[in-house]
Amino acid sequence: MEKQEKIVSMFDNIAPTYDTANRVMSMGVDKSWRRKACDLAYKFYAKESIDKIVDVACGTGDMMDFWKKRSEVNAIALGEIVGVDPSNGMVNVAREKFPKFNYHIAKATEIPLDDKSADILSITYGIRNVVEREAALREFNRVLKDGGLVVILEFMKNENPSLLGKIRDFYMNKILPKVGGFISNNLEAYEYLPNSIGDFSTVENMQNELVEAGFEIVYTKSFSMDISTLLIARKK
């Protein structure tokens, strides 16, 4: 089984307990990160009406719900919200939670949407799970309208961690896998998380890859001891 298929299979297996594990492990802090990502994207896009937002690696649908709720807070008329994910298990959970949204079972490199059809495309804690990342970024560019935004929330690799960063790494490597493994009864899946961060990109490399894929960086910020990083880039 190829690497991408193994990752998808892993998410199929942990889908039923994914939300519970995430809330416990992040202590709910991820909600503030998601809110900030949505609010800033709406601010940078600066339009009162948005036709379509696409959430890639949508998982169980939480980010899609944030886009909807924050559009109401920001008085934005939002049309369609589309979730894209290769895991049937995760999307089945999302459909139960948020039946009003539209979904596609598809890879990040093969989004079944027309060219220049989306205003905003987000991927939250999913880009490090995409094996062909550069191809995915080009696909994001294809799907976005000119001037559209890509919004990335991710656990980035930190090559020179501060003291707080080292504390973060200890939590991510030693504590988090055991908590997630206990809740899901799948230790291997949650050992994958810190390993995937260690194998992943730095913020600087991610910015460079976005630029090479045809974007200009609009905003970059790391939150909570650099646990999570937000990148917003505009299609040129």
Residues annotated within a binding site for S-adenosyl-L-methionine:
60, 85
List residues forming the annotated binding site.
60, 85
The DSSP symbol for 173 reads I
177 with 187: CB under 8 angstroms?
yes
Helix (H, G, I), strand (E, B), or coil: what is residue 82? strand
**Cα angle value 142/15/150 (rounded, 5°):** 20
Neighbouring CB atoms inside 10 A of 72's CB total 10
Beta 77-85 vs 49-56: how paired, if at all?
Answer: parallel
Contact 79, 51 (CB under 8 A): yes
Helix (H) or strand (E) holding 174: none
Classify residue 170 as exposed, middle or buried by CB count within 10 Å of its CB (0-12, 13-18, 19+): exposed
Enumerate helices (H) and strands (E) in the chain, giving the number of each. 10, 7
The DSSP bridge pattern shows strands 215-223 and 77-85 to be unpaired
What is the rounded distance in angstroms from the CA atom of residue 223 to the CA atom of residue 229?
6
